[in-house]
Amino acid sequence: MKLYVLMSLLVMAMAACGGSSPSGGVSAPAPEGGEVPRGDATIKVLSNRPDLLSGGDVLLEVRLATAEAKDQLILRRNGEDVTSGLEADPNDPLRLLALVDGLSVGENTLSANIGNSLTVTNHPAGGPVFTGPHIQPWQCQDGAVDELCHQPVEYRWLYKSSNSSQPGLQPYDPENPPNDVAMTTTDGGESLPFIVRQEIGYQARDQYVIFTLHKLDEAWTPAQPQSQWNRRLLVTHGGNCRANYDTSSARTDDYAGTIPGNPAIEQSYITALSLGWSVLSTAQLNLGHNCNLSYQAESLMMAKERFVEQYGELRYTVGTGCSGGAITQNMIANAYPGLYQGLLTTCTYPDVMSTATQFADYHMLLRYFRTSTESVQNPQNPDQLFVARDGTSYTVSQQNEIYGHVNGIVNASLADTALFAEAVQPASECGGVSAEERFHQTDNPTGVRCDVLTFMENMIGERERFPAEDPRDRWSQLEKDLGYAFAGFPLGNEGVQYGLIPLREGLITPAQFVALNTGIGGLDPSLNVTTERLKADYPALPNAYRTGILNTIVNMDTVPIINMTGPDPGAAHDSVHGYWVRWRLEREFGHRDNFVHWGGPTALIGDPNFMNESLLAMAEWLDAIESDTSDTPLAQKVIANKPATVQDRCGDAEGEMCSEEAMMVYGTPRTQAGDDRFGDQVQCQLRPFSRNDDYGLGNLVWQEADWQRLEQTFATGVCDWSKRPQAWQPTITWLKYHDDKGDMITGGEQMSPAAFPAGWASPAFAKTWEPGWQ
């Protein structure tokens, strides 16, 4: 009996203290001289995961059980009273918001005397949060106050002119306002002057910018934003793929298919502002400045946190962009789902490594077909002969067949000179690195390597081979001389039978096929052609799939996508790249119902009006999902709530998908080698070479010496395209790249499960971060 009474008293005491924290924290102790806490208040972090905060502040929600509890509430930060920072939500009398600053780096305790307490972890505004040790060296911007590139936040005013001859946004002086300020009406029906406030700040050692349609004479707090804001956020991006070691400017122009400076068609980010959206951009979301997925995702996460803390909770976030802007959206949506709720992609690629593999094939083929990389003659004559470096002749049309593109020679040359050689060439120029500091094969072999593989070394790792082999067997002579390995190559061409389809179709001869495949060779880490085929490095190859720089698509069924495409321009932006996204979705999920495909007559973008039209269509789609408060899984909500008006279209014909012929969907060197259509075979699995395979033996004359040369070339086997790529594995969501001591975790380690930050999107989009995001 005494034991029963004792246990009852203990249970009552625990209940009086509010029990365990619903967020995993420890209940706050009773205030001195006050009542025992009754659990009348619940604290929740809105602006990010509690363990991923940065910049020293956090937006909190305090939910009260009763209105009377507000008078008893004391909010503390590390024991210090910060109750004065609480602000009432005008739409909910039992809800308070507080922007709490002054967090120290590391763990902090936030507590309510009549509720729970939380432990949150704050990281420096300069990072890193989850990306691992900082990339070095790094050159900060002029005006930076420390080595993390901090600089005070700056605000500027802009406006839209009523004069149609002045497109875009113009500087606005509140002390001397112009007389040509346009008016705009938001999608909520509010009319106001088109005046925009631009916030410019620095996080993660780089710049971010935020644009908001703003009333100069009104306050704006997270609890009470100005009425014109519709709580939607548009994120813009930049193109290309480069590795730069310096702070840059966030792209403030449009890179989404509409053309800056064109008064006929408004840039989509300005259209968004006119409707009441906010717009955000960071320098690191420009792939042409920062070609590292983990840094891009961290930059977007930190900027979203900053936005929520300063402006308020979001309904949803939509990305928009062309070329590298599409790559960034697709990779982040797969590897760090939840940062975007919708994607608007054009000039589309799915990721970095799919593209790099195609361009690497171009690079090697160009150097086989020509002894130098000078500009291609204008090959109007398809029968014009080019003599390869081994003396074998190929016509223009034969080369194009091997490339898989009607303008293959030109396409390959543009890709090679404008993209592959500069992005993957370690001796190329890059920001923040002088010519004297930069790598040179002979003059400065220990210099800074400006290639994107080195820039992504936290994700892919150094060059190694299979564990049973000596890693140095794969090292170049330069690596052996230096005593260390460079960043790994996550791709290879071992077993690829270039020109197999043209051979079967009788478009090239056995002699040409044999010469090509025995002569093409591979690459070393400095892009020099080697006689041996390029073998993918380990762990770089599996890490490409694991980290998401090769987009497996397996986590992208929870995000609506509107992809816009036009006929293939033959300018290294093949229309097939957008189809890779669609086809991989169909392969992984059996459908692509979350992927809407718009085609049109304009190369790359389909139609100049598509980007503005897709913004409205995406808002309609996301609004419908937002209204679905059921427990239906998010992937199913995306499909079930797709409006009937948001469908495939071909020009103005809704519901009609443009044919692949109309969009000029061509192949690649690998599809011409027998590859499947998905574009993710960066290194195929191998099977034994066999003379009994289909080599178009009907009217072709083969010599015994040719067979023997092929058997020697493919001694380790030929590609088995019927199987998944070598080392394929699903992309793991929400990887971190350093341990508790700050040491690098190459290839990443998945973060612990956590609740979706409530301030990032409406509850309908919430999803727990858990292994596989399934």
The pLDDT assigned to 479 comes to 84
Averaged pLDDT for residues 481-490 = 89
Longest dimension (CA), the chain: 103
More confidently predicted of 201 and 529: 201
d(CA 143, CA 153) in angstroms, rounded, equals 11
CB of 557 within 8 A of CB of 585?
yes
The pLDDT assigned to 378 comes to 53
The pLDDT assigned to 150 comes to 96
Residue 34 has pLDDT above 50, yes or no: no
Residue 113 has pLDDT above 90, yes or no: yes
The pLDDT assigned to 141 comes to 97
Residue with tokens 């009406």: 185
Averaged pLDDT for residues 631-658 = 93
- Whether a cis peptide bond, with omega within 30° of 0, leads into 128 is yes
47-61, 557-571, 620-634, 688-702: lowest mean pLDDT where?
688-702
Residue 749 has pLDDT above 60, yes or no: yes
More confidently predicted of 58 and 768: 58
CB of 747 within 8 A of CB of 547?
yes
Residue 121 has pLDDT above 50, yes or no: yes
The pLDDT assigned to 478 comes to 86
Averaged pLDDT for residues 580-608 = 95
2-16, 283-297, 624-638, 657-671: lowest mean pLDDT where?
2-16
Residue 88 has pLDDT above 70, yes or no: yes
Residue 648 has pLDDT above 70, yes or no: yes
Residue 463 has pLDDT above 90, yes or no: no
Edge-to-edge order in the sheet of strand 117-123:
53-54, 117-123, 106-112, 75-77, 80-81
HEC per residue, 553-619: CCCCCCCCEEEEECCCCCCCCCCHHHHHHHHHHHHHHCCCCCEEEEECCECCCECCCHHHHHHHHHH
d(CA 757, CA 45) in angstroms, rounded, equals 7
SS3 label, residue 328: helix
What value, to the nearest 5°, has the Cα angle with vertex 472 and ends 469 and 475? 125
Topology (CATH) of 2-123: Immunoglobulin-like (2.60.40)
DSSP 156: E
Tokens of 247: 């702070």
The pLDDT assigned to 28 comes to 37
The pLDDT assigned to 120 comes to 97
Averaged pLDDT for residues 54-75 = 96
Reported as type and span, the H/E element at residue 92 is: strand 92-100
Which of 418, 405, 415, 347 is CA-nearest to residue 379? 405
Averaged pLDDT for residues 201-218 = 97
Q: Which residues of 70-81 are buried (b: 16+ CB within 10 A; e: fewer)?
A: bebbbbbbeeee
List of residues 6+ apart from 730 with CB closer than 8 A: 545, 552, 554, 555, 772
Is the backbone of residue 700 left (phi > 0), alpha (psi -120 to 50) or beta? beta
The pLDDT assigned to 524 comes to 82
d(CA 675, CA 670) in angstroms, rounded, equals 5
Helices (H) and strands (E) in the chain, counts: 19, 31
Residue 10 has pLDDT above 70, yes or no: no
Residue 87's DSSP bridge partners are 97
Residue 372 has pLDDT above 50, yes or no: no
Residue 3 has pLDDT above 70, yes or no: no
DSSP 671: G
Give backbone dihedrals phi and psi of 212, rounded to 5 degrees, phi first: -140, 135
Cβ atoms within 10 Å of 480's Cβ, excluding its own:
11
Q: What is the pLDDT of residues 230-259, one digit of tens each?
A: 999 999 999 889 999 999 999 877 555 556
Cβ atoms within 10 Å of 245's Cβ, excluding its own:
18
Q: What is the pLDDT of residues 520-571, one digit of tens each?
A: 999 887 778 899 999 999 999 999 999 999 999 999 999 999 999 999 988 8
Query: Could you tell me the pLDDT band of residue 284, with boundaries at 50, 70 and 90?
Result: very high
Residue 470 has pLDDT above 80, yes or no: no
CB of 205 within 8 A of CB of 164?
no
Residue 709 has pLDDT above 50, yes or no: yes
CB of 112 within 8 A of CB of 122?
no
Q: What average pLDDT is seen over the chain?
A: 89
The pLDDT assigned to 401 comes to 96
The pLDDT assigned to 383 comes to 79
Query: Could you tell me the pLDDT band of residue 768, with boundaries at 50, 70 and 90?
Result: low
Residue 50 has pLDDT above 70, yes or no: yes
Length of the chain: 774
The pLDDT assigned to 43 comes to 96
SS3 label, residue 713: helix
d(CA 117, CA 560) in angstroms, rounded, equals 36
Residue with tokens 């999608």: 187
Query: Could you tell me the pLDDT band of residue 23, with boundaries at 50, 70 and 90?
Result: very low
The pLDDT assigned to 386 comes to 82
What is the share, in percent, of the chain residues with pLDDT greater than 70? 89
d(CA 336, CA 304) in angstroms, rounded, equals 13
d(CA 257, CA 253) in angstroms, rounded, equals 11
For the chain, which residues make up each domain, given as ranges? 2-123, 354-546+668-719
Edge-to-edge order in the sheet of strand 649-650:
169-171, 154-160, 195-203, 206-213, 278-282, 232-236, 316-322, 342-346, 561-565, 595-599, 649-650, 653-654
What is the share, in percent, of the chain residues with pLDDT greater than 90? 77
Which of 622, 556, 546 is CA-nearest to residue 230? 622
DSSP 416: I
DSSP string for 250-291 = PP-S--SSS-TT-TTS--HHHHHHHHT-EEEEEGGGBTTTB-
- In this structure, the dihedral spanned by the alpha carbons of residues 419, 435, 135 and 735, taken in order and rounded to 10 degrees, is 10
Give backbone dihedrals phi and psi of 391, rounded to 5 degrees, phi first: 90, -5
Query: Could you tell me the pLDDT band of residue 473, with boundaries at 50, 70 and 90?
Result: low
Tokens of 288: 């042409």
CB of 107 within 8 A of CB of 98?
no
d(CA 293, CA 335) in angstroms, rounded, equals 9
Residue 178 has pLDDT above 90, yes or no: yes
Residue 444's DSSP bridge partners are 440
d(CA 18, CA 515) in angstroms, rounded, equals 78
DSSP string for 500-553 = HHHHHTTSS-HHHHHHHHHH--EE-TT--EESSPPPPPTTHHHHHHHHTSS---
Residue 740 has pLDDT above 80, yes or no: yes
d(CA 183, CA 190) in angstroms, rounded, equals 10
What one-letter code names the amino acid at 613? E
Query: Could you tell me the pLDDT band of residue 12, with boundaries at 50, 70 and 90?
Result: very low
